[in-house]
Protein backbone atom coordinates (compact mmCIF):
# COMPACT_ATOMS: atom_id res chain seq x y z
CA UNK A 1 0.00 0.00 0.00
CA UNK A 2 1.13 3.55 -0.73
CA UNK A 3 2.11 5.68 2.27
CA UNK A 4 -0.86 7.92 1.78
CA UNK A 5 -4.41 6.69 1.05
CA UNK A 6 -7.00 9.03 -0.41
CA UNK A 7 -10.50 7.97 -1.33
CA UNK A 8 -11.96 10.03 -4.19
CA UNK A 9 -14.66 7.57 -5.27
CA UNK A 10 -17.59 8.61 -3.10
CA UNK A 11 -20.14 8.29 -5.91
CA UNK A 12 -19.34 4.57 -6.07
CA UNK A 13 -19.87 4.21 -2.36
CA UNK A 14 -19.10 6.06 0.86
CA UNK A 15 -17.46 4.98 4.10
CA UNK A 16 -19.85 4.52 7.02
CA UNK A 17 -20.34 7.66 9.08
CA UNK A 18 -18.93 6.97 12.59
CA UNK A 19 -22.38 7.61 14.09
CA UNK A 20 -23.93 5.13 11.66
CA UNK A 21 -21.34 2.55 12.63
CA UNK A 22 -22.11 3.10 16.33
CA UNK A 23 -25.84 2.77 15.70
CA UNK A 24 -25.38 -0.42 13.72
CA UNK A 25 -23.01 -2.05 16.19
CA UNK A 26 -25.53 -1.39 18.96
CA UNK A 27 -28.33 -2.64 16.72
CA UNK A 28 -26.56 -5.98 16.24
CA UNK A 29 -27.66 -6.93 19.74
CA UNK A 30 -31.25 -6.43 18.69
CA UNK A 31 -32.13 -9.51 16.67
CA UNK A 32 -35.92 -9.59 16.90
CA UNK A 33 -38.08 -9.92 13.81
CA UNK A 34 -40.11 -6.71 13.43
CA UNK A 35 -43.15 -8.83 12.53
CA UNK A 36 -43.07 -10.76 15.83
CA UNK A 37 -45.59 -9.71 18.45
CA UNK A 38 -43.41 -10.33 21.50
CA UNK A 39 -41.06 -7.82 23.13
CA UNK A 40 -38.11 -8.69 20.84
CA UNK A 41 -40.23 -8.06 17.78
CA UNK A 42 -41.80 -4.90 19.16
CA UNK A 43 -38.38 -3.42 19.89
CA UNK A 44 -37.24 -4.10 16.31
CA UNK A 45 -40.50 -2.73 14.90
CA UNK A 46 -40.17 0.47 16.92
CA UNK A 47 -36.68 1.04 15.55
CA UNK A 48 -37.70 0.34 11.95
CA UNK A 49 -40.62 2.75 12.19
CA UNK A 50 -38.46 5.37 13.85
CA UNK A 51 -36.00 5.16 10.92
CA UNK A 52 -38.89 5.39 8.46
CA UNK A 53 -40.06 8.61 10.10
CA UNK A 54 -36.58 10.11 9.85
CA UNK A 55 -36.12 9.15 6.19
CA UNK A 56 -39.59 10.46 5.31
CA UNK A 57 -39.01 13.68 7.25
CA UNK A 58 -35.80 14.52 5.40
CA UNK A 59 -37.61 14.45 2.05
CA UNK A 60 -40.84 16.08 3.22
CA UNK A 61 -42.84 12.86 2.85
CA UNK A 62 -45.27 11.07 5.13
CA UNK A 63 -43.84 7.95 6.77
CA UNK A 64 -46.58 5.84 5.15
CA UNK A 65 -45.10 6.79 1.77
CA UNK A 66 -41.71 5.12 2.39
CA UNK A 67 -41.05 1.51 1.33
CA UNK A 68 -37.68 0.09 2.37
CA UNK A 69 -35.98 -1.94 -0.36
CA UNK A 70 -32.79 -3.96 -0.69
CA UNK A 71 -31.04 -1.26 -2.78
CA UNK A 72 -31.55 1.74 -5.01
CA UNK A 73 -31.53 -0.67 -7.95
CA UNK A 74 -34.44 -2.60 -6.46
CA UNK A 75 -36.41 0.60 -5.86
CA UNK A 76 -35.92 1.63 -9.50
CA UNK A 77 -36.89 -1.85 -10.73
CA UNK A 78 -40.01 -1.69 -8.53
CA UNK A 79 -41.22 1.50 -10.18
CA UNK A 80 -40.54 0.31 -13.73
CA UNK A 81 -42.22 -3.04 -13.04
CA UNK A 82 -45.50 -1.18 -12.44
CA UNK A 83 -45.98 -1.55 -16.18
CA UNK A 84 -46.10 -5.32 -16.12
CA UNK A 85 -47.63 -6.31 -12.80
CA UNK A 86 -50.87 -8.23 -12.83
CA UNK A 87 -52.79 -6.14 -10.33
CA UNK A 88 -55.52 -3.69 -11.19
CA UNK A 89 -53.22 -1.12 -9.62
CA UNK A 90 -50.61 -1.22 -12.33
CA UNK A 91 -50.15 1.47 -14.96
CA UNK A 92 -53.14 1.34 -17.34
CA UNK A 93 -52.96 -0.52 -20.65
CA UNK A 94 -53.60 2.66 -22.61
CA UNK A 95 -50.36 4.15 -21.29
CA UNK A 96 -47.68 1.63 -22.12
CA UNK A 97 -44.82 4.01 -22.88
CA UNK A 98 -41.92 4.94 -20.60
CA UNK A 99 -39.86 8.06 -21.16
CA UNK A 100 -36.43 8.00 -19.63
CA UNK A 101 -33.08 9.55 -20.56
CA UNK A 102 -29.98 8.24 -22.28
CA UNK A 103 -27.84 8.89 -19.21
CA UNK A 104 -29.72 6.91 -16.56
CA UNK A 105 -28.07 4.33 -14.35
CA UNK A 106 -27.99 0.83 -15.91
CA UNK A 107 -30.63 -0.40 -13.43
CA UNK A 108 -33.09 1.92 -15.19
CA UNK A 109 -31.77 1.53 -18.73
CA UNK A 110 -31.51 -2.27 -18.72
CA UNK A 111 -34.85 -2.74 -16.95
CA UNK A 112 -36.54 -0.42 -19.46
CA UNK A 113 -34.89 -2.30 -22.31
CA UNK A 114 -36.11 -5.58 -20.85
CA UNK A 115 -39.66 -4.24 -20.72
CA UNK A 116 -39.63 -3.73 -24.49
CA UNK A 117 -39.84 -7.54 -24.73
CA UNK A 118 -43.12 -7.31 -22.81
CA UNK A 119 -44.63 -4.83 -25.26
CA UNK A 120 -43.67 -1.61 -23.49
CA UNK A 121 -42.42 1.22 -25.68
CA UNK A 122 -39.40 3.11 -24.33
CA UNK A 123 -38.34 6.59 -25.44
CA UNK A 124 -34.88 7.83 -24.49
CA UNK A 125 -34.42 11.57 -24.08
CA UNK A 126 -31.32 13.15 -25.59
CA UNK A 127 -29.12 15.33 -23.40
CA UNK A 128 -27.09 18.42 -24.33
CA UNK A 129 -23.30 18.70 -24.04
CA UNK A 130 -23.61 19.28 -20.29
CA UNK A 131 -25.94 16.34 -19.70
CA UNK A 132 -29.22 18.26 -19.37
CA UNK A 133 -32.27 16.48 -20.79
CA UNK A 134 -34.13 17.98 -23.71
CA UNK A 135 -37.44 19.29 -22.31
CA UNK A 136 -38.83 20.04 -25.75
CA UNK A 137 -38.28 16.44 -26.80
CA UNK A 138 -39.94 15.33 -23.54
CA UNK A 139 -43.05 17.30 -24.44
CA UNK A 140 -43.05 15.97 -28.02
CA UNK A 141 -43.05 12.37 -26.76
CA UNK A 142 -45.73 13.13 -24.18
CA UNK A 143 -48.04 14.59 -26.82
CA UNK A 144 -48.56 11.07 -28.18
CA UNK A 145 -50.72 10.53 -25.06
CA UNK A 146 -49.63 6.96 -24.36
CA UNK A 147 -46.94 7.73 -21.78
CA UNK A 148 -47.50 6.11 -18.39
CA UNK A 149 -44.29 7.13 -16.65
CA UNK A 150 -41.42 9.57 -16.97
CA UNK A 151 -38.27 8.46 -15.15
CA UNK A 152 -35.39 10.94 -15.13
CA UNK A 153 -32.55 10.89 -12.60
CA UNK A 154 -32.05 13.91 -10.38
CA UNK A 155 -28.24 13.89 -10.48
CA UNK A 156 -26.01 11.88 -12.74
CA UNK A 157 -23.55 9.53 -11.06
CA UNK A 158 -20.74 10.00 -13.61
CA UNK A 159 -20.79 13.71 -14.43
CA UNK A 160 -22.86 15.10 -11.54
CA UNK A 161 -25.24 17.13 -13.75
CA UNK A 162 -28.48 18.05 -11.98
CA UNK A 163 -31.79 17.98 -13.85
CA UNK A 164 -34.67 20.42 -13.45
CA UNK A 165 -36.95 17.83 -11.85
CA UNK A 166 -39.78 20.29 -10.92
CA UNK A 167 -40.03 21.34 -14.59
CA UNK A 168 -39.94 17.72 -15.81
CA UNK A 169 -42.62 16.69 -13.27
CA UNK A 170 -44.84 19.58 -14.31
CA UNK A 171 -44.60 18.64 -17.99
CA UNK A 172 -45.15 14.93 -17.28
CA UNK A 173 -48.25 15.62 -15.18
CA UNK A 174 -49.66 18.05 -17.74
CA UNK A 175 -49.90 15.07 -20.10
CA UNK A 176 -51.22 12.63 -17.48
CA UNK A 177 -47.99 10.68 -16.95
CA UNK A 178 -46.57 9.71 -13.57
CA UNK A 179 -43.15 11.00 -12.54
CA UNK A 180 -40.25 9.08 -11.00
CA UNK A 181 -36.80 10.34 -10.19
CA UNK A 182 -33.77 8.28 -9.26
CA UNK A 183 -32.35 10.50 -6.53
CA UNK A 184 -29.67 8.05 -5.41
CA UNK A 185 -26.85 10.52 -6.08
CA UNK A 186 -28.77 13.69 -5.22
CA UNK A 187 -30.36 12.72 -1.90
CA UNK A 188 -28.17 13.92 0.97
CA UNK A 189 -26.10 16.15 -1.32
CA UNK A 190 -28.73 18.68 -2.40
CA UNK A 191 -32.10 19.46 -0.76
CA UNK A 192 -34.71 16.89 -1.76
CA UNK A 193 -38.36 17.64 -1.05
CA UNK A 194 -40.91 15.46 -2.80
CA UNK A 195 -43.53 18.21 -2.99
CA UNK A 196 -41.13 20.83 -4.34
CA UNK A 197 -39.91 18.30 -6.91
CA UNK A 198 -43.50 17.30 -7.73
CA UNK A 199 -42.57 13.62 -8.06
CA UNK A 200 -44.80 10.59 -7.57
CA UNK A 201 -41.92 8.16 -6.93
CA UNK A 202 -38.37 8.80 -5.74
CA UNK A 203 -35.47 6.41 -5.14
CA UNK A 204 -32.69 6.65 -2.56
CA UNK A 205 -29.85 4.36 -1.44
CA UNK A 206 -28.05 4.06 1.92
CA UNK A 207 -24.47 3.55 0.83
CA UNK A 208 -24.16 6.83 -1.09
CA UNK A 209 -24.81 8.88 2.06
CA UNK A 210 -22.38 7.26 4.53
CA UNK A 211 -24.96 4.60 5.39
CA UNK A 212 -24.82 0.84 4.86
CA UNK A 213 -24.93 -1.07 1.58
CA UNK A 214 -27.90 -3.25 0.73
CA UNK A 215 -30.56 -0.81 1.86
CA UNK A 216 -32.60 1.59 -0.22
CA UNK A 217 -35.98 3.21 -0.07
CA UNK A 218 -38.71 4.14 -2.48
CA UNK A 219 -40.99 7.09 -1.90
CA UNK A 220 -44.48 6.33 -3.23
CA UNK A 221 -46.88 9.26 -3.16
CA UNK A 222 -50.23 8.42 -1.54
CA UNK A 223 -52.77 7.20 -4.07
CA UNK A 224 -50.22 6.18 -6.73
CA UNK A 225 -50.41 2.82 -8.51
CA UNK A 226 -48.26 0.27 -6.73
CA UNK A 227 -47.45 -3.43 -7.00
CA UNK A 228 -44.85 -5.26 -4.92
CA UNK A 229 -41.77 -6.22 -6.91
CA UNK A 230 -40.92 -8.89 -4.33
CA UNK A 231 -43.95 -10.87 -3.28
CA UNK A 232 -44.85 -13.40 -0.65
CA UNK A 233 -44.92 -11.54 2.65
CA UNK A 234 -46.90 -8.88 4.45
CA UNK A 235 -43.83 -6.77 5.30
CA UNK A 236 -43.77 -3.08 4.43
CA UNK A 237 -47.60 -3.20 4.54
CA UNK A 238 -47.57 -5.77 1.76
CA UNK A 239 -45.47 -3.56 -0.50
CA UNK A 240 -42.15 -5.45 -0.28
CA UNK A 241 -41.95 -9.02 0.97
CA UNK A 242 -39.00 -10.22 3.01
CA UNK A 243 -38.02 -9.80 6.65
CA UNK A 244 -36.86 -6.21 7.09
CA UNK A 245 -33.12 -5.51 7.11
CA UNK A 246 -33.33 -3.95 10.55
CA UNK A 247 -29.61 -3.21 10.75
CA UNK A 248 -29.59 -1.57 7.33
CA UNK A 249 -32.77 0.38 8.01
CA UNK A 250 -31.46 1.71 11.32
CA UNK A 251 -28.15 2.57 9.67
CA UNK A 252 -30.01 4.44 6.94
CA UNK A 253 -32.07 6.31 9.54
CA UNK A 254 -28.89 7.47 11.29
CA UNK A 255 -27.18 8.34 7.98
CA UNK A 256 -30.15 10.57 7.13
CA UNK A 257 -29.98 12.25 10.56
CA UNK A 258 -26.30 12.98 9.99
CA UNK A 259 -26.97 14.40 6.53
CA UNK A 260 -29.67 16.63 7.99
CA UNK A 261 -27.06 18.07 10.35
CA UNK A 262 -24.02 18.16 8.04
CA UNK A 263 -25.21 18.48 4.45
CA UNK A 264 -25.48 22.22 4.02
CA UNK A 265 -22.05 23.21 5.36
CA UNK A 266 -20.42 20.10 3.95
CA UNK A 267 -21.59 20.74 0.39
CA UNK A 268 -20.17 24.29 0.50
CA UNK A 269 -16.86 22.86 1.69
CA UNK A 270 -16.84 20.19 -1.05
CA UNK A 271 -17.63 22.77 -3.72
CA UNK A 272 -14.54 24.66 -2.55
CA UNK A 273 -12.41 21.52 -2.86
CA UNK A 274 -13.85 20.76 -6.30
CA UNK A 275 -13.14 24.32 -7.52
CA UNK A 276 -9.59 24.03 -6.21
CA UNK A 277 -9.15 20.70 -7.98
CA UNK A 278 -10.53 21.99 -11.26
CA UNK A 279 -8.40 25.14 -11.19
CA UNK A 280 -5.29 23.16 -10.28
CA UNK A 281 -5.86 20.69 -13.11
CA UNK A 282 -6.43 23.52 -15.59
CA UNK A 283 -3.23 25.24 -14.50
CA UNK A 284 -0.99 22.19 -14.33
CA UNK A 285 -2.18 19.84 -17.11
CA UNK A 286 -2.47 20.69 -20.81
CA UNK A 287 -5.66 19.88 -22.67
CA UNK A 288 -7.79 18.80 -19.72
CA UNK A 289 -11.43 18.71 -20.85
CA UNK A 290 -14.11 18.83 -18.18
CA UNK A 291 -17.36 16.90 -18.56
CA UNK A 292 -20.77 17.71 -17.11
CA UNK A 293 -22.42 21.00 -16.26
CA UNK A 294 -20.00 23.67 -15.01
CA UNK A 295 -22.36 24.98 -12.31
CA UNK A 296 -25.59 22.94 -12.20
CA UNK A 297 -23.83 19.93 -10.85
CA UNK A 298 -23.17 18.00 -7.64
CA UNK A 299 -20.61 19.81 -5.49
CA UNK A 300 -18.59 16.63 -5.02
CA UNK A 301 -18.29 15.38 -8.62
CA UNK A 302 -15.60 16.29 -11.14
CA UNK A 303 -15.32 14.37 -14.40
CA UNK A 304 -12.38 15.18 -16.64
CA UNK A 305 -10.88 13.81 -19.86
CA UNK A 306 -7.18 13.79 -20.68
CA UNK A 307 -6.76 13.18 -24.42
CA UNK A 308 -3.94 10.75 -25.10
CA UNK A 309 -4.25 9.05 -21.71
CA UNK A 310 -6.45 5.99 -21.09
CA UNK A 311 -8.72 6.28 -18.06
CA UNK A 312 -7.78 2.78 -16.84
CA UNK A 313 -4.08 3.63 -16.94
CA UNK A 314 -4.68 6.86 -15.02
CA UNK A 315 -6.71 4.96 -12.43
CA UNK A 316 -3.96 2.34 -11.95
CA UNK A 317 -1.12 4.88 -11.67
CA UNK A 318 -3.15 6.91 -9.17
CA UNK A 319 -3.92 3.73 -7.25
CA UNK A 320 -0.18 3.05 -6.98
CA UNK A 321 0.14 6.51 -5.44
CA UNK A 322 -2.66 5.68 -2.97
CA UNK A 323 -5.42 7.66 -4.69
CA UNK A 324 -8.73 5.98 -5.54
CA UNK A 325 -10.76 7.41 -8.45
CA UNK A 326 -12.94 5.75 -11.05
CA UNK A 327 -13.21 5.76 -14.81
CA UNK A 328 -16.97 6.17 -14.84
CA UNK A 329 -19.60 4.51 -12.72
CA UNK A 330 -18.65 1.66 -10.38
CA UNK A 331 -21.24 -0.51 -12.12
CA UNK A 332 -19.61 0.01 -15.51
CA UNK A 333 -16.02 -0.50 -14.40
CA UNK A 334 -14.60 -3.67 -15.84
CA UNK A 335 -16.44 -2.87 -19.04
CA UNK A 336 -14.34 -1.76 -21.99
CA UNK A 337 -17.23 0.14 -23.52
CA UNK A 338 -16.90 3.91 -23.37
CA UNK A 339 -19.26 5.59 -20.90
CA UNK A 340 -22.82 5.79 -22.28
CA UNK A 341 -23.21 9.03 -20.31
CA UNK A 342 -20.25 10.76 -21.93
CA UNK A 343 -21.22 9.48 -25.38
CA UNK A 344 -24.73 10.90 -24.87
CA UNK A 345 -23.22 14.33 -24.17
CA UNK A 346 -21.57 14.20 -27.58
CA UNK A 347 -18.09 13.30 -26.40
CA UNK A 348 -16.30 10.96 -28.83
CA UNK A 349 -15.29 7.45 -27.78
CA UNK A 350 -11.59 8.34 -27.55
CA UNK A 351 -12.17 11.24 -25.19
CA UNK A 352 -14.63 9.13 -23.19
CA UNK A 353 -11.94 6.44 -22.77
CA UNK A 354 -9.55 9.07 -21.42
CA UNK A 355 -11.78 10.30 -18.61
CA UNK A 356 -11.82 9.85 -14.87
CA UNK A 357 -14.38 10.66 -12.22
CA UNK A 358 -13.18 12.25 -9.01
CA UNK A 359 -15.96 12.16 -6.41
CA UNK A 360 -15.24 13.86 -3.11
CA UNK A 361 -16.66 13.05 0.30
CA UNK A 362 -16.78 14.17 3.92
CA UNK A 363 -13.37 12.67 4.75
CA UNK A 364 -11.52 14.63 2.04
CA UNK A 365 -9.37 17.62 2.95
CA UNK A 366 -7.47 20.44 1.27
CA UNK A 367 -4.30 18.36 1.79
CA UNK A 368 -5.88 15.49 -0.18
CA UNK A 369 -6.55 17.83 -3.09
CA UNK A 370 -3.01 19.24 -2.91
CA UNK A 371 -1.58 15.72 -2.98
CA UNK A 372 -3.76 14.85 -5.99
CA UNK A 373 -2.57 18.01 -7.77
CA UNK A 374 1.04 17.04 -7.03
CA UNK A 375 0.62 13.49 -8.34
CA UNK A 376 -1.80 13.77 -11.27
CA UNK A 377 0.26 15.92 -13.69
CA UNK A 378 3.15 13.43 -13.54
CA UNK A 379 0.77 10.51 -14.10
CA UNK A 380 -0.80 12.14 -17.16
CA UNK A 381 2.52 13.16 -18.73
CA UNK A 382 4.01 9.67 -18.14
CA UNK A 383 1.04 8.04 -19.91
CA UNK A 384 0.99 10.63 -22.69
CA UNK A 385 4.73 10.13 -23.26
CA UNK A 386 4.01 6.47 -24.00
CA UNK A 387 1.10 7.32 -26.28
CA UNK A 388 1.36 7.98 -29.99
CA UNK A 389 -2.17 9.41 -30.02
CA UNK A 390 -1.44 12.60 -28.09
CA UNK A 391 -0.40 15.84 -29.76
CA UNK A 392 -0.31 18.78 -27.35
CA UNK A 393 -3.21 21.14 -28.00
CA UNK A 394 -4.00 18.92 -30.96
CA UNK A 395 -6.51 16.27 -31.84
CA UNK A 396 -9.05 16.95 -29.18
CA UNK A 397 -8.85 20.72 -28.90
CA UNK A 398 -11.97 21.09 -31.04
CA UNK A 399 -13.94 19.07 -28.53
CA UNK A 400 -13.63 21.68 -25.80
C1 LIG B 1 -27.80 7.11 -10.00
C2 LIG B 1 -27.79 5.75 -9.38
N3 LIG B 1 -28.92 5.04 -9.36
C4 LIG B 1 -28.97 3.83 -8.79
C5 LIG B 1 -27.87 3.25 -8.22
C6 LIG B 1 -27.96 1.90 -7.61
O7 LIG B 1 -28.03 1.96 -6.21
P8 LIG B 1 -27.65 0.67 -5.37
O9 LIG B 1 -26.17 0.51 -5.41
O10 LIG B 1 -28.19 0.93 -4.00
O11 LIG B 1 -28.35 -0.47 -6.03
C12 LIG B 1 -26.65 3.95 -8.24
C13 LIG B 1 -25.42 3.34 -7.71
O14 LIG B 1 -24.33 3.58 -8.20
C15 LIG B 1 -26.62 5.23 -8.82
O16 LIG B 1 -25.48 5.96 -8.86
The atom of ligand 1 lying closest to the CA of 331 is: 14
Q: In angstroms, what CA-CA distances link 72 with 76, 146, 156, 184, 364?
A: 6, 27, 14, 7, 25
**Using an 8 Å Cβ cutoff, are 151 and 104 in contact?**
yes
Region 60-68: mean pLDDT is 98
Q: In angstroms, what CA-CA distances link 96 with 55, 177, 220?
A: 31, 10, 20
The per-residue pLDDT for range 199-210, each reduced to its tens digit, is: 999 999 999 999
**Is residue 198 in contact with ligand 1, taking CB distance under 6 Å?**
no
**Is residue 151 in contact with ligand 1, taking CB distance under 6 Å?**
no
Tell me if residue 205 falls in helix, strand or coil: strand
The per-residue pLDDT for range 115-171, each reduced to its tens digit, is: 999 889 999 999 999 999 999 999 999 998 999 999 999 999 999 999 999 999 999
Whole-number mean pLDDT of the chain? Answer: 94
The per-residue pLDDT for range 214-232, each reduced to its tens digit, is: 999 999 999 999 999 999 9
Q: What pLDDT was estimated at residue 302? A: 98
Give the closest residue (by CA) to ligand 1 atom 8: 72
Region 222-248: mean pLDDT is 95
Rounded to the nearest angstrom, the distance between the alpha carbon of 48 and the centre of ligand 1 is 22
Q: Give the pLDDT band (50/70/90) at residue 398.
A: very low
Best of 184, 190, 326 for a ligand 1 pocket test (most atoms within 8 Å of beta carbon): 184
Q: Give the pLDDT band (50/70/90) at residue 339.
A: very high
Rounded to the nearest angstrom, the distance between the alpha carbon of 383 and the centre of ligand 1 is 31
**Is residue 107 in contact with ligand 1, taking CB distance under 6 Å?**
yes
How many Cβ atoms are within 10 Å of 86's Cβ, its own excluded? 7
Rounded to the nearest angstrom, the distance between the alpha carbon of 72 and the centre of ligand 1 is 5
**Is residue 339 in contact with ligand 1, taking CB distance under 6 Å?**
no
**Is residue 20 in contact with ligand 1, taking CB distance under 6 Å?**
no
The atom of ligand 1 lying closest to the CA of 104 is: 1
Region 90-103: mean pLDDT is 88
Q: What pLDDT was estimated at residue 391? A: 79
Q: CA–CA separation, 132 vs 294, rounded Å?
A: 12
What's the distance, Cα to Cα, between the start and end of the chain in Å? 36
Q: What pLDDT was estimated at residue 393? A: 74
> What percent of the chain is predicted at pLDDT more than 90?
88
Residue count (the chain) = 400
The atom of ligand 1 lying closest to the CA of 157 is: 16
Q: How many whole angstroms from its chain centre is CA 25?
A: 27
Best of 9, 103, 107, 333 for a ligand 1 pocket test (most atoms within 8 Å of beta carbon): 107
Rounded to the nearest angstrom, the distance between the alpha carbon of 73 and the centre of ligand 1 is 6
Q: CA–CA separation, 384 vs 308, rounded Å?
A: 5
- Nearest Cα to Cα of residue 211 among 162, 156, 262, 274: 262
Q: Quote helix, strand, coil % in the chain, to nearest 5.
A: 45, 15, 40
Q: Give the pLDDT band (50/70/90) at residue 247.
A: very high
Which of 58-72, 254-268, 294-308, 329-343 is least confident?
329-343
Rounded to the nearest angstrom, the distance between the alpha carbon of 183 and the centre of ligand 1 is 9
Residue 227 annotated in active site: no
Is pLDDT larger for residue 399 or for residue 237?
237
pLDDT reading at 246 higher than 90: yes
Q: What pLDDT was estimated at residue 243? A: 97
Helix H or strand E segment including 386:
helix 366-386
- Write down the catalytic residue from 90, 107, 227, 331: 331
Q: What pLDDT was estimated at residue 337? A: 85
Q: Give the pLDDT band (50/70/90) at residue 92.
A: confident
**Using an 8 Å Cβ cutoff, are 212 and 24 in contact?**
yes
Q: What is the pTM of this model?
A: 0.95
Pairing assessment for the beta strands 201-205 and 178-182 based on DSSP bridges: parallel
Please, what are the domains in the chain?
6-15+262-395 (3.90.1150.10), 18-258 (3.40.640.10)
Q: What pLDDT was estimated at residue 329? A: 52
Rounded to the nearest angstrom, the distance between the alpha carbon of 160 and the centre of ligand 1 is 13
**Using an 8 Å Cβ cutoff, are 121 and 95 in contact?**
no
**Is residue 307 in contact with ligand 1, taking CB distance under 6 Å?**
no
Our CA angle for 13, 14, 15, nearest 5°, is: 130
Q: What pLDDT was estimated at residue 334? A: 56
Which of 218-222, 299-303, 387-391 is least confident?
387-391
- The answer for residues whose C-beta is within 8 angstroms of residue 209's C-beta and 6 or more apart is 14, 187, 188, 189, 255, 256, 259
pLDDT reading at 394 higher than 80: no
The atom of ligand 1 lying closest to the CA of 155 is: 1
Q: In angstroms, what CA-CA distances link 206 with 28, 34, 258?
A: 18, 20, 12
> What percent of the chain is predicted at pLDDT more than 70?
95
**Is residue 105 in contact with ligand 1, taking CB distance under 6 Å?**
yes
Q: CA–CA separation, 175 vs 207, rounded Å?
A: 35
Q: CA–CA separation, 194 vs 199, rounded Å?
A: 6
Rounded to the nearest angstrom, the distance between the alpha carbon of 68 and the centre of ligand 1 is 15
Q: Give the pLDDT band (50/70/90) at residue 327.
A: very high
Sort 137 into a burial class: Cβ within 10 Å, 0-12 / 13-18 / 19+.
Answer: middle
Q: CA–CA separation, 367 vs 62, rounded Å?
A: 42
Amino acid sequence: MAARQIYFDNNATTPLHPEVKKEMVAAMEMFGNPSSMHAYGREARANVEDARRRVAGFMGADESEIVFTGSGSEANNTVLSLFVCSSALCIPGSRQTIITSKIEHPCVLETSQCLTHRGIDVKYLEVDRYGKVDLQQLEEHLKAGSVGLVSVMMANNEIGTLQDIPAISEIAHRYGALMHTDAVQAFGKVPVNVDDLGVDFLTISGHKIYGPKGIGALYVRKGMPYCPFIRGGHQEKGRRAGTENTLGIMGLGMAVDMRAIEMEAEEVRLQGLKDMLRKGIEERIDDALFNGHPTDSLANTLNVSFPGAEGEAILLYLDLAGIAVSTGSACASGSLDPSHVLLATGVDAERAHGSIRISLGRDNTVEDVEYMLDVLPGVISRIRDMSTAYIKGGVHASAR
